[in-house]
Amino acid sequence: MDTIFKIEPNLKIFQLPDIKERTRINVRYPLMAPYAYAHIYWDENQNELIYSLEQPKLSESEVEILRLIMLALEEMINISIVKTEKAAQIIQYLEKNVQSILVELGTKVSKETYLKLMYYIFRDSVGLNQIEPLLNDYYIEDIECNGLNSPLYVVHRKYENLRSNVIFTDIQELTDFVEKLAQKCGRYVSYAKPLLDGTLPDGSRVNATYSEDVTTKGPTFTIRKFTKDPWTPIHMINFKTTSPIVVAYIWMAIEHKFNMMVVGETASGKTTFLNAVLSFIPPDARVVSIEDTRELNLNHDNWMPTVTRSGFGIPNLMGKEYGEITLFDLLRESFRQAPDYVIVGEIRGKEAYVLFQGMASGHSSFGTFHAGSVPTLVRRLQTPPISLSASLIESLDVVCVMTHLKESQRNIRRMKELVEIQSVTEKGLSFNIPFEWNPINDKVEQKRSLYLLTKISKRSGKQIPELERELQVRTILLQAMANRKIEDFKEVNDIIKAYYLNSKKVLSEFGITWLILIQLKIWKNLKF
């Protein structure tokens, strides 16, 4: 059966124009074409940038017909069909049933009305109601609802925090929606258990509250969108999060299995940055990731992603529910699976002890942590509830400190500094900061020599001049990729993998020839 209703998939990312003056921004792009569009514009009355979700308008009679159809569908819908990932099959199934319902109701509608009705039926049956178009927006990172009669806010990759025109005005509708979020996450919420923390089928993270007892404005929710095509190291360069030489440095640190943490305050871009640089893990390495909710996305064949699981019932004397799987449990088991690299999405508690034990025993480990500086990081690791010894913390090699700067004229994320841990003792901390971001000129500056190259030399047997030349070559390659705007997740990862296999071939494909290297005086003893 041919379907009348069609939703055009967003096959390519709509390129938004670079407009520095926010009052001049006026862009419109498809979310669920040809029915739903995002319109971002400057509102003179509210004196702010608005994210307007544009959808087909329904008349009063169309709203009533839609209500009757949705009631009938609740009785006859096949959940197994709706759960399928094949949109064409879902649409075919819905259309068949909608047409039958219209016949039973004795209602005839125009083609225009029928298509509008099918859009809302598809959106609300398969998707997440009025939030579904927002989930289809590549540029949206977070969706935030602060309760009843409060406009939803979105965190936009291009335009940062935006007020939207989406508002829940009915308490029952909002409550039902939070229940639907819980169902989609495979979780349960109630007045007895009003807090929800889970993951949607697409990997998006959900945090919600259910009752007015917890949040006085009614149920709330925040959705952190899972990015199917994550940012790459080239994004980090082109968005000036950091510089090519810093990225090349991290590449070499990861290749040689040094331990690294990405720290920063909330919303500073820790996980995004960590996920980007994990592209540098050698293609033949065994990788295990451990997270509360799935956020990491690696293009790696030998990768085992693991997530925690909530338990149920009354907690035991240790405070653990039956069936609960914690970060600590997963981390402890991961080291029995012979990983080359272990990644912890976010380190918060006692799992840090196991992670640093793994570092000390030779397992290369990465993770994120809430801290604004390296001294703060070390202090928090040494004090309860973590309470690590100085000797364990000394296993950490590199710390990337992220920052989120909000000013009237700019809203940016940067790597504030790259820190090399030299020693951690009971008497104090010794570290080196080779790279530091200068907020005045918005550039990363090299302040000191690279202590890590000495450590790589001792571990690999390579001479420091050779390592310096390799760092320069990779910097040139990354800059060339950035210049060509090679940002696609798979393409970037394929180039990195190819470099591990045949660096000379990759360099030649980018026009990085012997002549160029000679001119840069980095040709001597260069090994490919």
Q: Which residues pair with 8 in a beta bridge?
A: 33
pLDDT in tens for each of the 528 residues of the chain? 567 888 876 656 778 887 878 899 999 999 999 999 999 999 999 899 999 999 999 999 999 999 999 999 887 765 555 555 567 788 888 899 999 999 999 999 999 999 999 999 999 988 899 999 999 998 998 999 999 999 999 999 888 889 999 999 999 999 999 999 999 888 888 888 899 988 888 888 899 999 877 788 899 999 988 777 788 999 999 989 999 999 999 999 999 999 999 999 987 889 999 999 999 999 999 999 988 777 888 989 999 998 877 666 566 655 566 667 877 788 888 878 889 999 998 888 878 888 898 888 888 999 999 999 999 999 999 999 899 999 999 999 999 999 988 665 556 889 999 999 999 988 889 999 999 999 999 999 998 889 999 999 999 999 999 999 899 999 999 999 999 999 999 999 999 999 999 999 999 999 887 656 655 555 444 443
| pLDDT at residue 526, rounded to an integer | 43
| Edge-first strand listing for the sheet containing 151-156 | 26-32, 36-43, 48-54, 160-167, 151-156, 140-145, 220-224, 205-209, 195-199
Q: Which of 441, 360, 400 is nearest to 274 (CA)?
A: 400
Neighbours of 250 (CB within 10 A): 26
Q: What pLDDT score does 78 carry? A: 59
Distance from C-alpha of 143 to C-alpha of 162, rounded to nearest angstrom: 10
Predicted local distance difference test score (pLDDT) of residue 20: 78
CA-to-CA separations, 257 to 234, 247, 469, in angstroms, rounded: 21, 15, 19
Kindly state the tokens that stand for 284.
């033949």
Position 527 scores a pLDDT of 43
DSSP string covering 120-142, please? HHHHHHTS-GGGHHHHT-TTEEE
Instruction: Kindly list the strands in the beta sheet with 411-425, ordered across the sheet, starting from the edge strand earlier in the chain.
Output: 303-307, 287-291, 341-344, 364-370, 260-264, 398-406, 411-425, 428-438, 443-446
pTM for the full model? 0.77
Q: Which domains does the chain have, with CATH numbers?
A: 1-138 (3.30.450.380), 139-226 (3.30.450.370), 233-448 (3.40.50.300)
For residue 52, count CB atoms less than 10 angstroms from its CB and return exposed for 0-12, middle for 13-18, buried for 19 or more: middle
pLDDT, residue 524, reads: 46
Question: Does residue 254 contact residue 274 with C-beta atoms inside 8 Å?
Answer: no
